[in-house]
Amino acid sequence: MSYPETRLRRFRRTPTLRRMVRETRLAAEDLVLPLFVCPGSGVENPVASMPGVAQQSVDKLVETAKATFDEGIPAVILFGLPETKDAVGASSWAEDGIVQRALEALAREVPDLVRIVDVCFCEYTDHGHCGVLTEERKGTVDNDATVENLARQAVSLARAGADIVAPSDMMDGRVAVIREALDDADLGEVAILSYAAKFASAYYGPFRDAADSTPAFGDRRSYQMDPANGREAIREVELDVEEGADALMVKPALPYLDILSEIRQLFDHPLAAYHVSGEYAMLHAAAQRGWIDYDRVLLETLTSIRRAGADMILTYGARDAARLLDSHNKVV
């Protein structure tokens, strides 16, 4: 009987052999945990569509952040649920805003944790859109007026203790304006992680439950990207790089691994991918029905995102993954 000279199975025989030749490594330090901060004290409101995720008051959020950092996860990204909303989202740049208070508490209680903040308005506006609406065209977001307010929000959050501001609005030109505003405010050390390729995805539904940010009318397809467009995503990234983005992000992750991979090949900037709420919720829904093994599929999913080129993965499953990685000597 004839056998092939090259036998790829020789290094697949045992877990140790497989680890020795593993091409893609996943570790807790690659992960970022999204957190939702709300008013009050001692508040922890579970999000029904996202098992394991809750809206938390500042004190509870700090407890979660401490545990997260102790588990080897280096960063969190914050989303705020304000006490009041208005047409422009002014509470997002208030000195005593909900995210500002959370940043100050985190800087004090968990100083080595990297504090990333989402910069947008969908959680803060009474209409649920990501910016200022025009008077002339009802329901249309005014790009330039929104960009001015994004800069105000970014400076306020940076002053409160953000290490990284992450504009997710998809307005044209916002990275350059935010960079200039931060520099003018003597906050030049604060980095910009741009949601450079954010698609108008149907995977965001559970997030809108968590952030109370469902649009009151219409949708966001006039400013977020068409899911069919790949070349346009590269143009978006090129513009953000030219404007001064320090790091780039693709959102969602799994349906856009091709985009993620191409960006990795073309740009040397740190690259993040957001494993979004719908992707996370689907894993839990299938696991609850006994259709998949949640632990194995979560790690396989996150590993695929790393393999496609992400340096950082934002995921609601960060703590689950860190636990699993720790049980496998921190690398699987």
Take residue 270 and report the two structure tokens written for it. 């740190």
How far CA 232 is from CA of 3, 198, 227, 256, in Å, comes to: 48, 11, 10, 13
Task: Provide the Cα torsion 11, 15, 19, 20; round to 10°.
Answer: -50
Residue 198 is a catalytic residue: yes
Task: Provide the Cα torsion 11, 14, 15, 19; round to 10°.
Answer: -20
DSSP state of 245: -
Nearest Cα residue to 237 out of 249, 252, 253, 225? 249
Take residue 79 and report the two structure tokens written for it. 């989303």
Nearest Cα residue to 118 out of 145, 96, 92? 92
Work out the number of other CB atoms within 10 angstroms of the CB of residue 231: 9
Residue 219 identity (one-letter amino acid): D
Residue of 66, 85, 138, 198 marked catalytic:
198
Give the integer Cα–Cα distance in Å for 92 and 157.
9
DSSP readout, 206-220? HHHHHHT---SSS-S
* Contact assessment for residue 155 and residue 185, using Cβ atoms and an 8 Å cutoff: yes
Residue of 60, 66, 85, 251 marked catalytic:
251
CB-based contacts of 280, cutoff 8 Å, min separation 6: 50, 206, 315, 316, 317
- Show which residues are catalytic: 198, 251
